[in-house]
A = this chain, B = another copy of it.
Amino acid sequence: MLYIGIDVGGSSIKGGLVNEDGTLLYKTSKPIADKKDADSLVQLMVELCNNILDYTETDISDIIWIGCGIPGPCDKKQGIIISTTNLGFENFNLSEALKEHFDTQIFIGNDASCAALGECTSGATKNTSSSVILTLGTGIGAGIILNNLIYSGFNDIAGELGHTVIKVGGKQCNCGKRGCFETYASASALVEMTQELAKDGNAKILELCNNNIDDIDGRTIFEAVRQGDAGAKTTLDEYIEYLGTGVVNIINTFQPEMLVIGGGLSNEGDDLLNPLREYVMKNEFCSKVCRTKIVRAKLGNDAGIIGAAMLGMR
């Protein structure tokens, strides 16, 4: 059984051929150029699908369905993209548009939910029935799996965990509110904290970025801590408190079997996860029962493609 999964991002569209086990058999991508209107984007998706079919010598009649992960709220039942922040989709019926080109079923869903479904199909959360994945990037993407299904609420837009407030009256968020989880705990937030440390004259950070604070990335502070810098440790501890606060909130809310950390920062492995686990253990509401396991995402960027391909399955 073969499926096509498409992951629509801000700067590129990725897609692949996936089998029923959630194995990615072939993948490819197309950069999104200047034209970001709905018709141009659909054209790009059609080309991507045709490339996949051509390269893998597969006929569209062998594709059970095409699933699409979208960076914005969707009406899953009707196949409509309600809105996107940086792309030209606004109340757009993607399902109908793609059906004009391909004679197969079309499913759409939120991209972060697709990543959670991908990990749950063939990644970190395989064999668990409930999990939450947090992708730490520019913001914080979140996908929720309950009873082996994507949880998206009665109106398909649940799971905006990056925009739950952890500090009333705190830092301004792009969403208009103040104090959102992602303004404190995204990878971008950590980079900003590291840059502040450099501006305050931390010698180790300045050495690691060759005195160019624009070269600081999510890894910089971890490297400084590994090299024994005390100031960097203090800043990383502060970041862990923010990340841990949001993670404890999620665990106290959902008590999922697993909480998965994805995004570039997760490459730091236990240097990120161990202090996070320690913070969570100290701050969870109840310690007398089986606890949520905190693990690293396994599939990287493939999770979104695989999960999109699995959208019709659950």
Which residues does A use to contact B, with CB under 8 Å? 73, 75, 82-83, 129-130, 146, 151-161, 163-170, 175-177, 179, 184, 241-242, 245, 248-249, 252-257, 283, 285-286, 288-292
Complex: A161 Cα to B169 Cα, angstroms:
20
Complex: A286 Cα to B160 Cα, angstroms:
10
User: Within the complex, what minimum Cβ distance (angstroms) separates A175 from chain B?
Assistant: 7
Contact check, B153 vs A73: say whether CB atoms are below 8 A apart.
no
Complex: A169 Cα to B170 Cα, angstroms:
12
Contact check, B248 vs A153: say whether CB atoms are below 8 A apart.
no
Complex: A151 Cα to B158 Cα, angstroms:
15
Number of chain copies forming the complex? 2
The listed residue (B83, B177, B242, B252) touching A164 by CB distance below 8 A is B252
Chain B residues with CB under 8 A of A154: 129-130, 255-257, 290, 292
Q: A256-B153, A290-B154 are in contact. Are A163 and B285 (CB under 8 A)?
A: yes
Contact check, B165 vs A166: say whether CB atoms are below 8 A apart.
yes
Chain B residues with CB under 8 A of A175: 285
Contact check, B73 vs A253: say whether CB atoms are below 8 A apart.
no
Residue of B nearest to A72 (CB): B286
Which of A154, A179, A254, A291 is packed against the most chain B CB atoms within 10 Å?
A154
User: Within the complex, what minimum Cβ distance (angstroms) separates A176 from chain B?
Assistant: 8
User: Within the complex, what minimum Cβ distance (angstroms) separates A74 from chain B?
Assistant: 10
Contact check, B289 vs A252: say whether CB atoms are below 8 A apart.
no
Contact check, A159 vs B253: say whether CB atoms are below 8 A apart.
yes
Complex: A157 Cα to B256 Cα, angstroms:
10
Residue of B nearest to A131 (CB): B154
Contact check, B167 vs A168: say whether CB atoms are below 8 A apart.
yes
Chain B residues with CB under 8 A of A255: 152-158
Contact check, B166 vs A153: say whether CB atoms are below 8 A apart.
no
Complex: A180 Cα to B210 Cα, angstroms:
42
Chain B residues with CB under 8 A of A157: 255, 285-286, 289
Contact check, A153 vs B254: say whether CB atoms are below 8 A apart.
yes
Chain B residues with CB under 8 A of A285: 157, 160, 163, 175
Chain B residues with CB under 8 A of A163: 252, 285
User: Within the complex, what minimum Cβ distance (angstroms) separates A286 from chain B?
Assistant: 5
User: Within the complex, what minimum Cβ distance (angstroms) separates A160 from chain B?
Assistant: 4
Residue of B nearest to A248 (CB): B165
User: Within the complex, what minimum Cβ distance (angstroms) separates A19 from chain B?
Assistant: 29
Complex: A83 Cα to B249 Cα, angstroms:
21
**Interface CB pairs A-B, < 8 A, 23:** A82-B286, A83-B286, A153-B254, A153-B255, A154-B256, A155-B290, A156-B255, A157-B255, A157-B286, A158-B252, A158-B254, A160-B253, A161-B252, A163-B252, A164-B164, A164-B248, A165-B248, A165-B249, A167-B168, A168-B184, A168-B242, A176-B283, A253-B253
User: Within the complex, what minimum Cβ distance (angstroms) separates A109 from chain B?
Assistant: 14
